[in-house]
Amino acid sequence: MPDLFSTHGNQPIDGKYKILERLGSGGMGDVYKVEHVYLGAIRVIKAIRAQISGSADANERFLREARLATRVQHPNVAMIHDFAALPDGTHYMVWEYIEGENLAQRIKSRGTLPPREAVRVTIQVLNGLEAIHRAGVIHRDISPENIMITPDGNVKIIDLGVAKIEDSDVAMTRTGMFVGKLRYASPEQLGFMREGERIDGRTDLYSVGMVLYEMLTGRPPFEGKSPHDYIRLHSEETSLQLVDVSRSLHSDPALQTILLRALARDRTKRFQTAAEFRAALEQTERVDTLSRSTTLREAAPTLVTELPPPPRSRAKWLVPAILAVFVIAVIALVVMTMRPREEKTEVAAVTTQPPSASTPAQTQVNVSPPTTTTVEPVVTQTHTVAPTPAKTTTHTETVAPVPVPVPSPVPESRPSPLPPLPADAGRGDLAAYTEGGDGDVNGPLFDKLKSQVHGVKTVAVDAGAMQSDLMKALQHEGISVADRADVTIKFDGVLEHLGRGRKKRAAHASILKNGRVVFRYELPEETYRVGDTPVEAFVNAVGGAFKD
Q: Which residues are catalytic?
A: 141
- H helix runs in 219-313, sequence order: 227-235, 252-262, 274-306
CB atoms inside a 10 Å sphere around CB 194 = 6
Please say whether the dihedral angle defined by the alpha carbons of residues 6, 8, 14 and 19, taken in this order, is positive or negative: positive
The DSSP code for 77 is: B
Q: Are 506 and 417 in contact (CB under 8 A)?
A: yes
Separation between Cα atoms, residue 345 and residue 349, nearest integer Å: 6
233: phi then psi, degrees, rounded to nearest 5? -65, -40
Handedness of CA 189, 190, 194, 195 (dihedral sign): positive
- Residues with Cβ within 8 Å of 39's Cβ and at least 6 positions away in sequence, in order, are none
515-529 b/e (C-beta count within 10 Å ≥ 16 → b): eebbbbbbbeebbee
Tell me the pairing of strands 458-462 and 487-499.
parallel
Residue 390 CB-density burial (10 A; 0-12 exposed, 13-18 middle, 19+ buried): exposed
The contacts of residue 427 (CB under 8 Å, 6+ apart) are 517, 520
Cis peptide before 114 (omega within 30 of 0): no
Q: What angle do CA 193, 195, 197 make, to 5 degrees?
A: 60
DSSP result, 387-422:
EETTEEEEEEEEEPPPPPPPPPPPPPPPPPSSPPPP
CA angle 418, 420, 421 (to 5 degrees): 120
Which residues neighbour 155 within 8 Å (Cβ) at sequence distance 6 or greater? 76, 121, 124, 125, 128, 147, 148, 149
Type and span of the H or E element at 21 = strand 17-25
446: closest CA among 508, 519, 507, 386? 519
Q: Is 369 helix (H, G, I), strand (E, B) or coil?
A: coil
> CB-hemisphere CA count at 13 Å for 460?
11
Within a 10 A sphere around the Cβ of 33, how many other Cβ atoms? 15
CA 123, 128, 131, 133 torsion-angle sign: negative
- Collapsing DSSP to helix, strand or coil, 46 comes out as strand
